[in-house]
Structure 1
Amino acid sequence: MEVEPRRKGKHFTQDERAKIEALHKAGLTHQAIADIIGCCRSAITRELKKGQVEHLDYKTWIVSKVYDAYAAQQTANYQKTAHSKGLKLGNNHAYAAALGECICMGYSPFAAIQKVKDTYGLTISKQTLYRYIKEGLIPNVTYKTLPVGHPKKRKGKVAEEKLMRSRNVLHRSIEQRPKYITLRNTFGHWEIDSIIGSSEGKKESCLVLTERMTRQEIVIKVADKTALSTVSAMRWLKRQLGKDFKLLFQTLTSDNGCEFADQAGLDALGLTTYYCHPQAPHERGGNENNNKLLRRYFPKGKSMKNKTQYDATMAQYFINGYPREMFGGRCSSDLFKEELERLPLKNRQKVYRFFSI
C-alpha cells in the first residue's frame, strides 16, 4: 500500500479514519499504520484512543473497546463546532495581559486566575488557561515560563547502610511524633528547613519554617548553615513573639541536616523537635512545596551573598499571600489569621505586627 505524505498538523479526514479502522482491525501496529497514512505514530495513538466505542460480542457476551471511524468523525465534528463558537477569553486583551503578567511574576496558572478574578469581569478555568498558553494566546507566556517544570526522574534506591549513616540515632525520630499532627488539623506544628543559593555561597543561607495546617511561612536570613545559626535564629524568633511563642510553636519537624543537629538547643526553647527519616522529604511536604515558591526569589545556582532579611521578608509575603488551590483560592495569611483569632494571645498587636496581619 502506498504511503501518502500528510501535511504536519492536518486533521484526519473521514476517509483516512476509515482506512485507520481497517488497518487496525487487520492487526497492524500503530507505527505501521502511521507509515501508511503518512503521519507520526503518536497521532495514530491519540486517534485510536479518541475514537473508542464499546462493542458487545453477541456470541461471547463480552464487552470490549474498539476503534470506530464514524464515532471518531462525529467527535471531531463536535469539537470543531464547539471551538468555532469562539474563545471565552474573547477580545479581553487586558485580562489576558494581566494573567500573563502574574505568571511571569512567578504565579502558577491557578494562582494567576485567583489574583485577577475580581478585576476584569471574567474568570476562566485552570484547564482553559493551560490550553490558551499552549495555543499562544497569553502574551509572553509559554509552558517554559511556568514556575514548575517537568518532574524530575526518581533517583535510584539508596543503600540501607548509607541511610543509617546519615541519621543521628540520638535524635528524636518522627515515629515518636503524635499521630494527630500528621492529620494537619491542629495549629502550631511547624516544619523547618534551610536553603542555599550556590555551592560557592553555601555559607549564605535562609532558614524557612512552614506551619503544617495553614502553610504559613517564616523566612529568616542567617549567617551560615550551621546548628549555632539555627538555634540563634529560633531564639531571635522567640524574643520577637515574647510569651505568645509557646502558643504559636509547639513542635518542629526537620530533616537530618547538620544545621538542625542541636536537638538539645531547640528543645531548650520549648520546642519538641522530631527528625524525618533519611531521604524522605515527603515527611515535610508543606515545607518542600513552599521551598518551590521560595526558589522564585532565591534561584538555585545563584549566590545569596547580597541577599538581606528584607529580601527574605518580601519572599515570605509573596508565599503567604499566594492563592492556594488546596484552600479554594484562599491564601495562607487568611487561614493563619483565623487561627490567631482563636488563641488567647497576651500581646495580640505585637504578634499581628510581626506577621504583618
Structure 2
Amino acid sequence: MKYTLEHVRNKHLTICERTLIQLRLKDGHTVYSIAKEIGCAYNTIKNEIRRGSKKMYRSRRLCYRAETGQEKYEANRTSCHRTGKFRECAEFIKCVESDFSSPLKKWSVDASAGRLKTERFFTKKNSVCTKTLYNWIHKGIMEVRVSDLPESLRRKRHIHKNRTGKMRLGNSIENRPAEVATRNTFGHWEIDTVIGKKKGKNAVVLTLAERKTDFYITRKIPAKAASAVNSEIKRLFSDFGENPEKIFRTLTSDRGLEFASLAEVENEGTKIYFAHPYSSYERGINERHNRILRRFIPKGTDINKISEAELERIEDLINGLPRKRLGYKTPEELFNEQLDLIYRL
C-alpha cells in the first residue's frame, strides 16, 4: 500500500489520514478544519469520527481512534461487494444445463440461452450472455464440461484454393446465382451423405439443408451409390406435390461418386451445382448440420439398424433447435412459413 497524506478525490480514507484525524482532534481542531486540511467533504470526516469512536477505559466519553476506524472500514468492505452473478443467474444456468443434457433436445448452450431470453422467461438481471456461459464452462464452474461441447475443437479457418484438372460432373458452383450466397431467398439446398460403418455394404443417410431457413432433411438410402441418391431425390420431389421446383430451386453437392449422376434430376426449375474439390466449406451449412447429426449417429454406427421412425425423430430434434442466426426461431417454424407462402399462391 502506498501511504501519503495527500488525499485523492473520490477515494476512501487511508490509515494515514485516519491517524491525522486522531491527532488533530486531540489538539482541539474542528471537524471543518480537519476536512479542509485533508481535502475531503465535511460529512466524510464527521461520519468517520462517528464510526471510529469508542469509550476509552472507564470514561463515558467517546474518543476517536484511527485503528478502530480502519478495522470497521475493512469489515464493511468485506460485505459491500455485489452478489455474484453466478448466484443471481442460478435458475437460468440450471435451465441451460438441462436443455444441453436432455436427450430429447440436446440444444447448444447458445440455442438454449437465446431461446430462454427470447421467450422472456428471463431478463437481463437474472441471465447472462452466451460468451459468459462459455467462459464459466472453461473455468469449470458449470456442470457442462468443455469436452461435452461438440464444436470446441473442430472450428478451422478455410482458405479457398483454385483447383483445375479435376473431373467435371456438371455446373460448377462458380456459375451459381449470386443470390444463393446471400441466404436471403428460399429454395437453395446443400446435399451430402453421412456414412456409418466403412466396411461392407451398408445403408447411408442422405441429407439436405436449406440455406435460408436451415431446415434439414434426412433420408435413409440402401447404399452410397448414384442410383440410390437419384431415386431418393425423385421420391423427395414427389413428396412435396406439384411444382417441387418452387421448394428445390438449386442443389449444391460435393464431387463424390454418389452424386456423379445428380445432374440427371436437373430440370427447368431445379438446377444442380457442384462445389470445388476438397472445399467442404462451400457447403458449410450442410456440413454443420451433419455434425449435429453425428451427436445422434456417431461414426461407426450401423445405419442399417436405425429405423425410419428413429431417423425422423432425430430430424425433428434438429429442426426444433433454436438458432441464433434465425433470431432463436427454429428451422421448422421458418420452413413451414415458407411452405404456407408457396401453397397459398
Same fold (TM over 0.5): yes
User: What is the aligned partner in structure 2 of residue 90 from structure 1?
Assistant: 87
Equivalent pair of 1:217/1:320 in contact (CA under 8 Å)? yes
Bigger shift: residues 130-139 or 232-241:
130-139
Query: Quick check: 1:175 aligned with 2:174?
Result: yes
CA RMSD of aligned residues (A): 3.2
Query: Quick check: 1:236 aligned with 2:232?
Result: no
Identity, in percent, stands at 32
User: What is the aligned partner in structure 2 of residue 225 from structure 1?
Assistant: 224
Secondary structure of 2:325 counterpart = helix
User: In structure 2, what residue type is equivalent to 1:149?
Assistant: S
**Structure-2 change in CA distance of 1:306 and 1:128 (3 Å):** same
**Structure-2 change in CA distance of 1:175 and 1:293 (3 Å):** same
Matches within 5 A, 1:184-333: 184-200=183-199, 203-267=202-266, 271-333=270-332
> For residues 214 and 146 of structure 1, what CA distance do their matches in structure 2 show?
24
> For residues 170 and 321 of structure 1, what CA distance do their matches in structure 2 show?
35
Task: Write out per-residue CA displacement over residues 108-153 of structure 1, whole angstroms, 9 at most, x where no aligned residue.
Answer: 21112134445864432102211222333323x1111112121366
User: What is the aligned partner in structure 1 of residue 132 from structure 2?
Assistant: 128
**Structure-2 change in CA distance of 1:180 and 1:119 (3 Å):** closer
Q: 1:216 Cα shift?
A: 0.9
Bigger shift: residues 325-334 or 130-139:
130-139
> For residues 325 and 160 of structure 2, what CA distance do their matches in structure 1 show?
31
Equivalent pair of 1:133/1:143 in contact (CA under 8 Å)? yes
Equivalent pair of 2:110/2:324 in contact (CA under 8 Å)? yes
> For residues 156 and 116 of structure 1, what CA distance do their matches in structure 2 show?
36
Q: 1:312 Cα shift?
A: 2.0
Task: Write out per-residue CA displacement over residues 179-223 of structure 1, whole angstroms, 9 at most, x where no aligned residue.
Answer: 222221111111111111231366221111111111111111111
Secondary structure of 1:191 counterpart = strand
Bigger shift: residues 324-333 or 115-124:
115-124
Bigger shift: residues 283-292 or 148-157:
148-157
Task: Write out per-residue CA displacement over residues 21-61 of structure 1, whole angstroms, 9 at most, x where no aligned residue.
Answer: xxxxxxxxxxxxxxxxxxxxxxxxxxxxxxxxxxxxxxxxx
1:146 maps to which of 146, 149, 171: 149
How many residues were matched structurally? Answer: 264
> For residues 176 and 157 of structure 2, what CA distance do their matches in structure 1 show?
27
Equivalent pair of 1:174/1:275 in contact (CA under 8 Å)? yes
> For residues 302 and 331 of structure 2, what CA distance do their matches in structure 1 show?
28
Equivalent pair of 1:193/1:254 in contact (CA under 8 Å)? yes
Structure 2: state its 5+ residue gaps: 3-76
Q: 1:259 Cα shift?
A: 1.1
User: What is the aligned partner in structure 2 of residue 36 from structure 1?
Assistant: none
**Structure-2 change in CA distance of 1:269 and 1:309 (3 Å):** farther
**Structure-2 change in CA distance of 1:84 and 1:146 (3 Å):** farther
TM-score in terms of structure 2 length? 0.67
Secondary structure of 2:264 counterpart = helix
User: In structure 2, what residue type is equivalent to 1:113?
Assistant: A
Structure 1: state its 5+ residue gaps: 1-13, 16-79, 347-357
> For residues 133 and 235 of structure 1, what CA distance do their matches in structure 2 show?
45
Secondary structure of 1:221 counterpart = strand
> For residues 150 and 181 of structure 2, what CA distance do their matches in structure 1 show?
28
Equivalent pair of 1:247/1:343 in contact (CA under 8 Å)? yes
Q: Which has the larger radius of gyration?
A: 2
User: What is the aligned partner in structure 2 of residue 341 from structure 1?
Assistant: 340
User: What is the aligned partner in structure 2 of residue 4 from structure 1?
Assistant: none
> For residues 156 and 183 of structure 1, what CA distance do their matches in structure 2 show?
19
> For residues 264 and 285 of structure 1, what CA distance do their matches in structure 2 show?
21
> For residues 187 and 119 of structure 1, what CA distance do their matches in structure 2 show?
29
> For residues 238 and 324 of structure 1, what CA distance do their matches in structure 2 show?
26
**Structure-2 change in CA distance of 1:325 and 1:119 (3 Å):** closer
User: What is the aligned partner in structure 2 of residue 99 from structure 1?
Assistant: 96
